[in-house]
Amino acid sequence: MEPVEEVVKQHPRLELRGITKSFPGVKANSDVSFKVQPGEIHALLGENGAGKSTLVKQIYGILKPDAGDISWDGREVDVPSPHAARALGIGMVFQHFSLFEAMTVLENVALGMDDPGSDRAALAARIRLVSDSYGLPLDPAREVHTLSVGERQRIEIVRCLLQSPRLLVMDEPTSVLTPQEVNRLFETLRKLSAEGCSILYISHKLNEIKELCDHATILRGGKVVAECTPAEETARSMAQLMIGAEFRSVARREAVENTGPLRLELKTLSMAPEVAHGVPLKSINLALKAGEILGIAGVAGNGQGDLLAAIAGERRAVDAGAVMIDGKPVGKLGPAGRRKLGLCTVPEERNGHGAVPDMSLTDNAMLSGHKRMGFLKGGFLDTAKARSFAAEVIKRFDVRTPGTETTAGSLSGGNLQKFIVGREILQKPEILVVAQPTWGVDAAAAATIQQALVDLAATGSAILVISQDLDELLTLSDRIAVINAGSLSEAMPTATVSVEEIGLLMGGIHGTPEKGAA
């Protein structure tokens, strides 16, 4: 991956100087400067909350910098809107896709282009041509909600490619891909780079950056703290720069010898999807023992949400025996009933599901703990009890907040997640099920949460972790299973399983499914 050799000295394709951007209460970017050369694959590295997304939104014209300037091909430019960015030749592949589910691939591509022309057939032909030639085949007539996550990302990419980009910005592109899809993406990006297109690759995944990128700019707390050539660094040294403090990793679990009795069992659990085109759960079997951590890997959109809802009791099973807690059939029981039996959960979505953003932390403690922790007196709320519980959670899990009465919505992602996880852990559950425990959370908070899970398992609780982050699961779990299209694989011991194998299972058996390939 050598940068394209230029005979004549060129201007950098993109240069940022002194970019600063603030929001109420937080300085997202502070005096950020770096250069991207033509054909270079440049990494923007930083943990969650370092300011990468904000920076990139300014490059794409969604936000305006408070100070600083942007140069394109050596000339200073204003980027007042995404339209202007596209006119310059900047294409953006969003982390949370900018797609329209109920519409077709063709319509989605047309919407992302400024001048798709009025000839639909011609556009459809172009889509097929470009998507095939870059190894990302797409069928223009398919409706987006029928596509897998990996396929949806293709739309985002093809949409950019059709406009002959000279800089392609990719915001955390691999968090939703199987390992095989990641390789395919890298091939595409290398091809683009060889053709002279620059790539700005935003990620916090060090191994990928080492594999793919020519140069890296490292952000921490909104500032540029280092620049490096990934080939010359180790993952550890980059991590050090990224996090700043001594890189404290959670020790990989020793294989647990004596696990306790069977705590949670799923027996041929099947469930129709909740939303019209969701993924049904197909005959899921699972056995979770006390003291062990079982990880469920899988790309987003394969039924994880429904699985959690089924275990938590938010959705009732058809057959009461499909979910068993300590040998008791609880399939028809609701969340409150299951909590009483010792099952606590942490859902994927913090604000709106795991916590009520407009309510105080005290009330949020009341939310999940009112029955199990006895916060009720008759039919009335014992707010004082809930408050002291919340205060304890805050103290023990280092939640940065002025107090128990601040609203959940005003907490940062990492702090809120610490509160929610802490709230459940301090209820001393026999079984704890967590989904995406460290998604969008800064590294320090992530380490706290992961350590807390490990400690909880050591006290004898049974823990189930559903996560898209394979590294996290490999670190935490004793056994690992993979969910794909609503089916759950056998649980395999983490110590002996290979990443290859897991990747294959994540993508469906025998490699990535070619759903709807043109």
Partner 1 sequence: MTFDALLPMLLTVITAATPLLLASIGELVTEKSGVLNLGVEGMMLAGAVIGFATTVGTGSAFLGIVAAGIAGMVMAFAFGVLTLTLMANQVATGLALTIFGIGLSSLIGASYVGVPVEKLAKIEIPGLSAIPVLGPLLFDHDPLVYLSVAITVAVAWFMKRTRGGLILRAVGESDLSAHSIGYDVIKVRYMAVLFGGFTSGLAGAYLSLSYTPMWVEGMTAGRGWIALALVAFASWRPWRVFGGAYIFGGVTILQLYLQGAGGIGIPAQVMNMLPYLATIIVLTVISAGPWRGRLDAPACLGKPFRPAS
Partner 2 sequence: MALKIEARRQISTRMLYLTPFIAVGATVVAGFFLFLALGVDPLDSLYYFFVSPVETLNGLAELGVKAAPLIMIAVGLALGYRANIWNIGAEGQLTVGAVCGGAVALAFWNDEGIYILPLMAFAGILGGAAYAAIPAFLKTRFNVNEILTSLMLTYVATLFLAVLVFGPLKDPEGYNFPQSRMFSDSAILPIILEETRLHLGFLVALAIAVAGWVLLSRSIIGFQIRTLGSAPAAARYAGFDRTRLTWFCLLLTGGLAGLAGTFEVAGPIGQLVPNISPGYGFTAIIVAFLGRLHPLGIIASGFLMALSYLGGENAQITVGLPQAVTGVFQGLLLFFLLASDFLVRYRVRSVKPLAEGV
Residue 80 binds to partner 2 (criterion: CB under 8 A) = no
Residue 186's CB is within 10 A of a number of other CB atoms, namely: 18
Q: Figure out which of the listed residues 357, 413, 513, 516 binds partner 2, where binding follows CB under 8 A.
A: 357
Encoded tokens for 482: 């993979």
Sorted by sequence, the CB contacts under 8 Å of residue 26 that are 6+ apart come out as none
Residue 177 binds to partner 2 (criterion: CB under 8 A) = no
Helix axes 443-458, 235-243, angle to 10 degrees: 110
Encoded tokens for 427: 């209820």
CA dist., res. 121 & res. 65, Å (int): 40
Residues 410-449 that bind partner 2 (CB under 8 A): 410
Q: Figure out which of the listed residues 391, 406, 485, 492 binds partner 2, where binding follows CB under 8 A.
A: 406
Binding partner at 195 among partner 1, partner 2, none, C-beta below 5 to 8 Å by kind: none
Q: Which long-range contacts (CB under 8 A, 24 or more apart) does 394-398 make?
A: 394/361, 394/419, 394/422, 396/422, 396/426, 397/421, 397/422, 397/448, 397/452, 398/448
Residue 274 binds to partner 2 (criterion: CB under 8 A) = no
Angstrom distances, CA of residue 491 to CA of 283, 480, 496 = 15, 5, 12
- Of 87 and 458, nearer to partner 1 (C-beta) is 87
Q: In whole angstroms, how close is the CB of 365 to partner 2 at the nearest point?
A: 11
Residues 376-395 that bind partner 2 (CB under 8 A): 376, 379-381
Q: In whole angstroms, how close is the CB of 276 to partner 1 at the nearest point?
A: 5
- Of 97 and 247, nearer to partner 1 (C-beta) is 97
CB-facing half-sphere around the CA of 240: CA atoms within 13 A: 7
Residue 337 binds to partner 2 (criterion: CB under 8 A) = yes
Helix axes 149-161, 105-112, angle to 10 degrees: 40
Q: In whole angstroms, how close is the CB of 315 to partner 1 at the nearest point?
A: 18
Sorted by sequence, the CB contacts under 8 Å of residue 504 that are 6+ apart come out as 178, 180, 510, 511
Residue 25 binds to partner 2 (criterion: CB under 8 A) = yes
Q: In whole angstroms, how close is the CB of 353 to partner 2 at the nearest point?
A: 4
CA dist., res. 29 & res. 20, Å (int): 5
- Of 125 and 384, nearer to partner 2 (C-beta) is 384
Residue 345 binds to partner 2 (criterion: CB under 8 A) = yes
Residue 6's CB is within 10 A of a number of other CB atoms, namely: 11
Binding partner at 368 among partner 1, partner 2, none, C-beta below 5 to 8 Å by kind: partner 2
Strand locations in 447-486 (E): 462-467, 479-484
CA dist., res. 437 & res. 424, Å (int): 12
Residue 404 binds to partner 2 (criterion: CB under 8 A) = no
| In contact, 476 and 450? CB cutoff 8 Å | yes
Residue 135 binds to partner 2 (criterion: CB under 8 A) = no
Residue 146 binds to partner 2 (criterion: CB under 8 A) = no
CA dist., res. 249 & res. 438, Å (int): 14
Window of 86-94, 156-164, 339-347, 442-450 that interacts with partner 2 by CB under 8 A: 339-347
Do β-strands 67-72 and 223-228 pair in parallel, antiparallel, or remain unpaired? unpaired
Encoded tokens for 44: 């923007």
Question: Where do contacts with partner 1 occur on this chain (CB under 8 A)?
Answer: 57, 61-63, 81-83, 85-86, 94, 97-103, 107, 110-112, 116, 276
- Of 337 and 513, nearer to partner 2 (C-beta) is 337
Q: What radius of gyration do the chain's Cα atoms show?
A: 24
- Of 287 and 381, nearer to partner 2 (C-beta) is 381
Q: In whole angstroms, how close is the CB of 165 to partner 1 at the nearest point?
A: 14
- Of 83 and 248, nearer to partner 1 (C-beta) is 83
Q: Figure out which of the listed residues 12, 61, 347, 508 binds partner 2, where binding follows CB under 8 A.
A: 347
Q: Figure out which of the listed residues 31, 33, 35, 66 binds partner 2, where binding follows CB under 8 A.
A: 66
Q: In whole angstroms, how close is the CB of 315 to partner 2 at the nearest point?
A: 9
- Of 130 and 376, nearer to partner 2 (C-beta) is 376
- Of 63 and 373, nearer to partner 1 (C-beta) is 63
- Of 67 and 251, nearer to partner 2 (C-beta) is 67
Residue 398 binds to partner 2 (criterion: CB under 8 A) = no
Identify which of 153, 148, 187 has the alpha carbon closest to the alpha carbon of residue 170: 153
Binding partner at 280 among partner 1, partner 2, none, C-beta below 5 to 8 Å by kind: none
Strand locations in 350-472 (E): 376-377, 380-381, 431-435, 462-467
Contact residues for partner 2, defined by CB under 8 A:
24-25, 66-69, 312-314, 334-337, 339, 345, 347, 349, 351-359, 363, 366-368, 370-371, 376, 379-381, 406-407, 410
